[in-house]
A and B are shown apart, each in its own frame.
Chain A
């Protein structure tokens, strides 16, 4: 158990809908990262927040957005869902904001299926 929690574990929804994925980092960790894992693209970085502020951005679609709240939990919002958004979404956390020096601990993931 990494100490990172994600809810829900599974999510089934329809195209065009909007969903929210939630992540609670390990106790004491200030950075939260979101990754998407699909069969064809592998594990891809979406976005990082550090202590409430956006820190780094990957190839995150405009239909996706995220935020980190004062209690440091984070939410990833996915809207206007398409079939291709079906994937595993992982949250990871690390202590600080030292880039690659930081060890990232991954949560169990949320499996999203868009029908």
Chain B
């Protein structure tokens, strides 16, 4: 079983839809949770960063972390065609594990005009 599970999709939605992306994980040592966006053949770029449990909002994006359920989510409101990309969840533990990030497989999202 992988440490981080993410539905690879693909996910196709109409423009303006609310998108929900999710990851589950098994390692209770994870404390830091991130969402990266990756356009085709490009490097991942950080979208959202959350420490421990709770919600974080940034514009049209909301990240949620539920450590009790080992479940994280990313919501995209009013989705745009420019949001079409692969979304990767990533997690990391405390300092003694170094800085390595454990990534999910990525969910490919397509927003249709």
Q: CB within 8 Å of B: which residues of A?
A: 2, 4, 31, 33, 35, 42-45, 48, 55-56, 58, 88, 90, 94, 97-109, 111
Contact = CB atoms under 8 A, between A and B. Distances in A.
A58 B104 contact: no
Contacts of B43: 2, 4, 90, 106-109
Given A42-B104, A42-B105, A102-B99, 18 more contacts: A2-B43, A4-B43, A43-B88, A43-B106, A44-B103, A56-B98, A56-B99, A56-B100, A94-B99, A98-B95, A98-B99, A99-B94, A100-B95, A100-B97, A104-B99, A106-B43, A106-B45, A108-B42
Contacts of A103: 46, 49
Contact of B44 (A31, A44, A90, A98): A90
B44 A33 contact: no
B31 interface: yes
Interface of B: 30-32, 36, 41-46, 49, 51, 88, 91-106
A42 to B, nearest CB: 5
B102 A45 contact: yes
B16 to A, nearest CB: 29
Given A90-B43, A101-B32, A111-B41, A48 B95 contact: no
B99 A100 contact: yes
Contacts of A42: 103-106
B95 A56 contact: no
A105 B46 contact: yes
Given A2-B43, A108-B42, A108-B43, A99 B103 contact: no
A30 to B, nearest CB: 11
Contacts of A106: 36, 43-45
A45 B98 CA distance: 11
B104 A31 contact: no
A58 B95 contact: no
Nearest to A33: B99
13 contacts: A2-B45, A42-B106, A55-B99, A56-B99, A97-B99, A99-B96, A100-B32, A100-B92, A100-B95, A100-B101, A103-B46, A108-B42, A108-B43
